[in-house]
Protein backbone atom coordinates (compact mmCIF):
# COMPACT_ATOMS: atom_id res chain seq x y z
CA UNK A 1 0.00 0.00 0.00
CA UNK A 2 1.63 3.23 -1.16
CA UNK A 3 0.60 6.81 -0.47
CA UNK A 4 1.76 9.67 -2.72
CA UNK A 5 0.84 13.06 -1.29
CA UNK A 6 0.31 16.38 -3.04
CA UNK A 7 -0.68 15.15 -6.50
CA UNK A 8 -2.64 17.15 -9.06
CA UNK A 9 -4.12 14.80 -11.63
CA UNK A 10 -6.83 14.98 -14.26
CA UNK A 11 -8.75 11.76 -14.98
CA UNK A 12 -6.61 11.27 -18.10
CA UNK A 13 -3.41 11.66 -16.04
CA UNK A 14 -4.68 9.23 -13.41
CA UNK A 15 -5.28 6.70 -16.19
CA UNK A 16 -1.86 7.36 -17.73
CA UNK A 17 -0.04 6.96 -14.39
CA UNK A 18 -2.01 3.81 -13.52
CA UNK A 19 -1.07 2.27 -16.89
CA UNK A 20 2.59 2.37 -15.87
CA UNK A 21 1.77 -0.56 -13.58
CA UNK A 22 -0.04 -2.62 -16.23
CA UNK A 23 -3.17 -2.82 -18.30
CA UNK A 24 -6.31 -1.44 -16.67
CA UNK A 25 -9.63 -3.11 -15.97
CA UNK A 26 -12.78 -1.23 -16.91
CA UNK A 27 -14.67 0.09 -13.90
CA UNK A 28 -17.91 -1.58 -12.85
CA UNK A 29 -20.88 0.56 -13.93
CA UNK A 30 -22.45 2.86 -11.37
CA UNK A 31 -25.28 1.65 -9.13
CA UNK A 32 -27.60 3.68 -11.38
CA UNK A 33 -26.35 1.81 -14.46
CA UNK A 34 -24.45 4.75 -15.92
CA UNK A 35 -20.75 5.00 -16.69
CA UNK A 36 -18.90 7.38 -14.41
CA UNK A 37 -17.01 9.46 -16.95
CA UNK A 38 -17.99 9.63 -20.62
CA UNK A 39 -15.21 8.28 -22.81
CA UNK A 40 -13.13 6.99 -19.88
CA UNK A 41 -14.56 3.59 -18.90
CA UNK A 42 -11.45 2.90 -16.76
CA UNK A 43 -12.51 5.53 -14.20
CA UNK A 44 -14.63 4.56 -11.21
CA UNK A 45 -15.71 7.41 -8.93
CA UNK A 46 -16.35 7.01 -5.23
CA UNK A 47 -18.60 9.93 -4.32
CA UNK A 48 -21.71 11.12 -2.53
CA UNK A 49 -21.94 14.31 -4.60
CA UNK A 50 -24.83 15.18 -6.91
CA UNK A 51 -24.14 17.08 -10.11
CA UNK A 52 -27.07 18.27 -12.23
CA UNK A 53 -29.40 16.05 -10.19
CA UNK A 54 -27.35 12.89 -10.76
CA UNK A 55 -24.91 11.12 -8.49
CA UNK A 56 -21.32 11.62 -9.57
CA UNK A 57 -20.20 8.31 -8.12
CA UNK A 58 -20.88 5.23 -6.01
CA UNK A 59 -20.74 4.10 -2.38
CA UNK A 60 -22.55 7.13 -0.90
CA UNK A 61 -21.46 8.56 2.46
CA UNK A 62 -22.05 5.58 4.74
CA UNK A 63 -19.59 3.12 6.16
CA UNK A 64 -18.22 0.64 3.65
CA UNK A 65 -17.37 -2.85 4.84
CA UNK A 66 -14.01 -4.65 4.54
CA UNK A 67 -13.60 -5.88 1.00
CA UNK A 68 -11.37 -6.66 -1.95
CA UNK A 69 -12.22 -4.81 -5.17
CA UNK A 70 -14.08 -6.79 -7.84
CA UNK A 71 -13.22 -10.22 -6.44
CA UNK A 72 -16.69 -11.39 -7.52
CA UNK A 73 -15.05 -11.71 -10.95
CA UNK A 74 -12.92 -14.72 -11.98
CA UNK A 75 -10.00 -12.33 -12.65
CA UNK A 76 -9.99 -9.51 -10.10
CA UNK A 77 -7.67 -6.51 -10.46
CA UNK A 78 -4.27 -6.89 -8.78
CA UNK A 79 -4.26 -3.30 -7.57
CA UNK A 80 -6.44 -0.23 -7.26
CA UNK A 81 -5.46 3.42 -7.30
CA UNK A 82 -7.63 5.95 -5.48
CA UNK A 83 -7.14 9.71 -5.75
CA UNK A 84 -8.49 12.29 -3.29
CA UNK A 85 -9.96 15.14 -5.30
CA UNK A 86 -12.30 16.38 -2.55
CA UNK A 87 -12.38 15.15 1.05
CA UNK A 88 -14.77 15.91 3.93
CA UNK A 89 -13.44 17.90 6.92
CA UNK A 90 -13.88 14.82 9.15
CA UNK A 91 -14.63 11.12 8.73
CA UNK A 92 -14.38 9.13 5.51
CA UNK A 93 -11.02 7.65 6.51
CA UNK A 94 -10.01 4.43 4.77
CA UNK A 95 -8.54 1.39 6.51
CA UNK A 96 -6.35 -1.32 4.99
CA UNK A 97 -5.85 -4.75 6.52
CA UNK A 98 -2.88 -7.02 5.87
CA UNK A 99 -4.19 -10.43 4.82
CA UNK A 100 -0.79 -12.11 5.11
CA UNK A 101 -0.78 -11.18 8.79
CA UNK A 102 -4.35 -12.39 9.25
CA UNK A 103 -3.46 -15.75 7.71
CA UNK A 104 -0.34 -16.08 9.83
CA UNK A 105 -2.38 -15.40 12.99
CA UNK A 106 -4.67 -18.38 12.44
CA UNK A 107 -4.12 -21.37 14.68
CA UNK A 108 -2.41 -24.32 12.95
CA UNK A 109 -5.50 -26.56 13.12
CA UNK A 110 -7.62 -23.88 11.47
CA UNK A 111 -5.01 -23.42 8.74
CA UNK A 112 -5.12 -27.16 8.09
CA UNK A 113 -8.91 -27.14 8.01
CA UNK A 114 -9.18 -24.39 5.39
CA UNK A 115 -6.36 -25.50 3.09
CA UNK A 116 -7.91 -26.62 -0.22
CA UNK A 117 -11.31 -24.98 0.37
CA UNK A 118 -12.87 -22.49 -2.01
CA UNK A 119 -14.99 -19.48 -1.10
CA UNK A 120 -17.61 -17.62 -3.11
CA UNK A 121 -17.05 -13.87 -3.43
CA UNK A 122 -20.47 -12.29 -3.79
CA UNK A 123 -21.40 -10.16 -6.79
CA UNK A 124 -24.77 -8.94 -5.50
CA UNK A 125 -23.81 -6.06 -3.26
CA UNK A 126 -21.03 -3.50 -3.45
CA UNK A 127 -19.06 -2.51 -0.36
CA UNK A 128 -21.53 0.29 0.45
CA UNK A 129 -24.37 -2.24 0.57
CA UNK A 130 -25.91 -1.19 -2.75
CA UNK A 131 -27.16 -3.79 -5.23
CA UNK A 132 -25.02 -3.95 -8.35
CA UNK A 133 -26.49 -2.95 -11.67
CA UNK A 134 -28.47 -5.73 -13.39
CA UNK A 135 -28.42 -8.12 -10.41
CA UNK A 136 -31.56 -9.56 -8.80
CA UNK A 137 -30.82 -9.19 -5.07
CA UNK A 138 -30.62 -12.45 -3.16
CA UNK A 139 -29.44 -13.21 0.33
CA UNK A 140 -28.92 -16.91 -0.30
CA UNK A 141 -25.14 -17.18 -0.67
CA UNK A 142 -25.49 -20.56 -2.38
CA UNK A 143 -27.47 -18.99 -5.24
CA UNK A 144 -26.22 -15.42 -5.49
CA UNK A 145 -23.87 -14.48 -8.36
CA UNK A 146 -20.15 -14.46 -7.70
CA UNK A 147 -16.86 -16.25 -8.29
CA UNK A 148 -15.21 -19.04 -6.32
CA UNK A 149 -11.58 -18.55 -5.33
CA UNK A 150 -9.24 -20.51 -3.06
CA UNK A 151 -9.70 -19.44 0.56
CA UNK A 152 -5.95 -19.43 1.04
CA UNK A 153 -4.13 -17.91 -1.91
CA UNK A 154 -0.45 -17.62 -2.69
CA UNK A 155 0.62 -14.18 -3.81
CA UNK A 156 2.01 -14.58 -7.35
CA UNK A 157 4.90 -12.18 -6.73
CA UNK A 158 5.90 -12.64 -3.11
CA UNK A 159 5.02 -16.32 -2.85
CA UNK A 160 3.47 -15.66 0.56
CA UNK A 161 0.16 -17.16 1.66
CA UNK A 162 -2.78 -14.97 2.51
CA UNK A 163 -6.38 -15.38 3.54
CA UNK A 164 -8.57 -14.36 0.60
CA UNK A 165 -12.01 -13.43 1.91
CA UNK A 166 -13.36 -10.78 -0.49
CA UNK A 167 -16.31 -9.64 1.58
CA UNK A 168 -18.52 -11.12 4.26
CA UNK A 169 -22.04 -10.65 2.92
CA UNK A 170 -23.25 -13.65 0.87
CA UNK A 171 -19.88 -15.37 1.15
CA UNK A 172 -20.08 -19.15 1.00
CA UNK A 173 -17.65 -22.02 1.48
CA UNK A 174 -18.05 -24.38 -1.44
CA UNK A 175 -19.78 -27.73 -0.73
CA UNK A 176 -20.50 -26.77 2.90
CA UNK A 177 -23.83 -26.89 4.64
CA UNK A 178 -24.96 -23.24 4.93
CA UNK A 179 -24.77 -23.20 8.75
CA UNK A 180 -21.28 -24.70 8.72
CA UNK A 181 -20.17 -22.23 6.10
CA UNK A 182 -21.49 -19.30 8.15
CA UNK A 183 -19.80 -20.57 11.31
CA UNK A 184 -16.42 -21.03 9.63
CA UNK A 185 -16.65 -17.63 7.94
CA UNK A 186 -17.50 -15.92 11.23
CA UNK A 187 -14.46 -17.53 12.82
CA UNK A 188 -12.17 -16.45 9.99
CA UNK A 189 -13.56 -12.91 9.89
CA UNK A 190 -13.07 -12.53 13.64
CA UNK A 191 -9.30 -12.43 12.97
CA UNK A 192 -9.56 -9.58 10.45
CA UNK A 193 -10.88 -7.10 13.01
CA UNK A 194 -7.72 -6.99 15.10
CA UNK A 195 -6.39 -3.45 15.18
CA UNK A 196 -2.77 -4.56 14.85
CA UNK A 197 -3.35 -5.84 11.30
CA UNK A 198 -4.85 -2.61 9.96
CA UNK A 199 -3.72 0.87 9.02
CA UNK A 200 -6.12 3.78 8.48
CA UNK A 201 -5.37 6.76 6.34
CA UNK A 202 -6.75 10.25 6.98
CA UNK A 203 -7.15 11.70 3.50
CA UNK A 204 -5.77 15.02 2.36
CA UNK A 205 -6.68 16.55 -0.97
CA UNK A 206 -4.07 15.40 -3.50
CA UNK A 207 -3.42 12.01 -1.87
CA UNK A 208 -3.00 9.15 -4.30
CA UNK A 209 -3.13 5.68 -2.81
CA UNK A 210 -2.11 2.50 -4.59
CA UNK A 211 -2.92 -0.79 -2.89
CA UNK A 212 -2.23 -4.41 -3.66
CA UNK A 213 -5.76 -5.75 -4.01
CA UNK A 214 -4.64 -9.36 -3.48
CA UNK A 215 -3.08 -9.27 -0.02
CA UNK A 216 -5.09 -6.44 1.52
CA UNK A 217 -8.73 -5.60 2.12
CA UNK A 218 -10.02 -2.07 2.73
CA UNK A 219 -13.01 -0.28 4.22
CA UNK A 220 -14.21 3.29 4.81
CA UNK A 221 -15.66 5.20 7.75
CA UNK A 222 -18.91 7.12 7.25
CA UNK A 223 -18.89 10.91 6.99
CA UNK A 224 -21.29 13.86 7.10
CA UNK A 225 -23.70 13.46 4.16
CA UNK A 226 -23.67 17.21 3.53
CA UNK A 227 -19.87 17.23 3.09
CA UNK A 228 -18.36 16.52 -0.33
CA UNK A 229 -16.08 13.57 -1.07
CA UNK A 230 -14.89 12.87 -4.63
CA UNK A 231 -12.38 10.10 -5.25
CA UNK A 232 -11.65 8.84 -8.78
CA UNK A 233 -10.23 5.31 -8.96
CA UNK A 234 -8.58 3.02 -11.47
CA UNK A 235 -8.01 -0.73 -11.27
CA UNK A 236 -4.96 -2.54 -12.62
CA UNK A 237 -5.56 -5.90 -14.25
CA UNK A 238 -4.47 -9.03 -12.45
CA UNK A 239 -1.79 -11.03 -14.22
CA UNK A 240 -2.65 -14.34 -12.59
CA UNK A 241 -5.98 -15.71 -11.40
CA UNK A 242 -6.12 -16.08 -7.58
CA UNK A 243 -4.69 -19.50 -6.83
CA UNK A 244 -3.56 -21.63 -3.95
Stretch 62-121 residues interacting with Mn ion (CB under 5 A): 69
118's CB contacts (< 8 A; 6+ apart) are: 148, 149, 150, 151, 173, 174
- Tell whether residue 217 is a contact of ligand OGA (CB under 6 A): no
Whole-number minimum distance, CB 67 to Mn ion, in Å?
Answer: 6
- Tell whether residue 218 is a contact of ligand OGA (CB under 6 A): yes
Q: Dihedral of the CA atoms 102, 103, 105, 106 (nearest 10)? A: 120
Q: Which of 30, 68, 71, 94 binds ligand OGA (CB under 6 A)?
A: 94
Nearer to Mn ion among residue 77 and residue 141 (C-beta): 77
Q: Which does 220 bind (CB under 5 to 8 A by kind): Mn ion, ligand OGA, none?
A: ligand OGA
Q: Which of 14, 27, 43, 82 binds ligand OGA (CB under 6 A)?
A: 82
Whole-number minimum distance, CB 82 to ligand OGA, in Å?
Answer: 5
Pairing of strands 172-173, 146-150: unpaired
Q: Which does 94 bind (CB under 5 to 8 A by kind): ligand OGA, Mn ion, none?
A: ligand OGA
The answer to whether residues 46 and 223 touch, using CB atoms and an 8 Å cutoff, is no
The answer to whether residues 1 and 210 touch, using CB atoms and an 8 Å cutoff, is yes
Q: Which of 18, 98, 124, 127 binds ligand OGA (CB under 6 A)?
A: 127
The answer to whether residues 133 and 33 touch, using CB atoms and an 8 Å cutoff, is yes
Question: How big is the site for ligand OGA, counted in residues (CB under 6 A)?
Answer: 12
CA distance 77 to 100: 18
The answer to whether residues 233 and 56 touch, using CB atoms and an 8 Å cutoff, is no
Nearer to ligand OGA among residue 173 and residue 242 (C-beta): 242
Site residues (vs ligand OGA, CB under 6 A): 46, 59, 64, 69, 80, 82, 94, 127, 218, 220, 231, 233
Amino acid sequence: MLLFRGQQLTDAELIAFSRRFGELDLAPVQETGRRFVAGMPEIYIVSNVFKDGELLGSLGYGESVWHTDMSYLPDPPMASMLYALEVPPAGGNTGFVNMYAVYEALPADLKRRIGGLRIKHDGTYNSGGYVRQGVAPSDDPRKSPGAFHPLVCTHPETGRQMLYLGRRRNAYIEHFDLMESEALLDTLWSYTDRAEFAWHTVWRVGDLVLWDNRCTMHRRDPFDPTARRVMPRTQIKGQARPSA
